[in-house]
Structure 1
């Protein structure tokens, strides 16, 4: 009788753990693997990151957030940085980002900007001014020369990203273990 009781307790505990794990992955956090070099040097190809999925019911999306975006066909996800918010006017001229006419410093691009200035190249072509539609975001990769993002025209661009396609925000790198760090 006691053996049967122990098995029942183990099964209850296991079922509880499975339910909690599914709930956490569905509503709170999920691991995502970075695919490609579009976010270099901030995130590297094949790194595993933890993504907070709470933006749909807690918090907001801010400029500079690293977000995970569902593909239109939902075959894969993109990892990009939010550059422009709904209703803003965005433009880029000579690698200087302007939002609503005000220049925005992109501290996460310091290393890339130093490299391009030393080599006489640009991070990105000039564009804009463009007005971001309501409930949409303008995203770019940190590795601007190698990023499919909101610049350009579909199918060679992601275009403006509707809020409902944003899965969540990157919080930290968890693998490889020697690269564990908070993302921002």
Structure 2
């Protein structure tokens, strides 16, 4: 009888050990899965500040697509998440100039290689409210500047307050600084939507 009880206790201990090991293994698998998703698929993003207002609002939360930067080219007017060395933070900005292009802003107009390019993503009602119906500058005059072959010119949609590639301390961004594209807003719930190359 004592032998049977001892065997039962040992069996129970082994069973508990196996359950603990299975639990630890499951936690490790989940951790690796989440790490790989964040590294190569979707990155959580919290909007910090109003540099992209009204397209994106301070403290909106969502995800950005990391995988898309590996499988598709970065296009003009796409919204991207970029790493800024100066602040050691991730910024959400919009792609304005592509590698090798000459970028200039003059009298609220964007010029790419000397040709006017319309920025159709703007919330025109908001722009008018900030410029006395177009009588004042929304985007200050800048450039021209010619980008190198691995550089992108990024700006925030809220041009009057955004710190971006127009700032002397920031300048153009290297391609490897762009960590993901698009923003899928999940919170607040009434602002849910995808921001890619326009607004929500």
| TM-score normalised by length of structure 2 | 0.81
Q: Could you tell me which residue of structure 1 aligns to residue 181 of structure 2? A: 169
Q: CA distance change for structure 1 residues 94 and 73 in 2, over 3 Å: closer, same or farther?
A: closer
Residue 84 of structure 1 deviates from its aligned partner by 0.2
Alignment of 1:16-27 (within 5 A): 16-27=29-40
Unaligned runs of 5+ in 2: 1-10
Is it true that 1:80 corresponds to 2:90 in the alignment?
no
Alignment of 1:55-70 (within 5 A): 55-70=68-83
Which 4+ stretches in 1 moved above 4 angstroms? 5-8
Whole-angstrom CA distance in 2 between matches of 1:25 and 1:16: 14
* Aligned pair partner of 1:131 in 146, 152, 161: 146
Larger gyration radius, structure 1 or structure 2 = 2
Q: Could you tell me which residue of structure 2 aligns to residue 33 of structure 1? A: 46
Asked if the contact 2:69/2:181 (under 8 Å) is kept, the reply is: no
Is it true that 1:93 corresponds to 2:106 in the alignment?
yes
Residue 49 of structure 1 deviates from its aligned partner by 2.6
Q: Could you tell me which residue of structure 1 aligns to residue 117 of structure 2? A: 104
Residue 8 of structure 1 deviates from its aligned partner by 4.2
| TM-score normalised by length of structure 1 | 0.88
Is it true that 1:52 corresponds to 2:52 in the alignment?
no
* Aligned pair partner of 1:160 in 172, 179, 188: 172
SS at match of 2:71: coil
Asked if the contact 2:61/2:188 (under 8 Å) is kept, the reply is: yes
SS at match of 1:118: coil
Aligned length, in residue pairs? 181
Residue 112 of structure 1 deviates from its aligned partner by 3.5
Whole-angstrom CA distance in 1 between matches of 2:86 and 2:76: 26
Asked if the contact 2:80/2:183 (under 8 Å) is kept, the reply is: no
Moved more, 89-98 or 12-21: 12-21
Residue 136 of structure 1 deviates from its aligned partner by 0.4
Q: Could you tell me which residue of structure 2 aligns to residue 144 of structure 1? A: 159
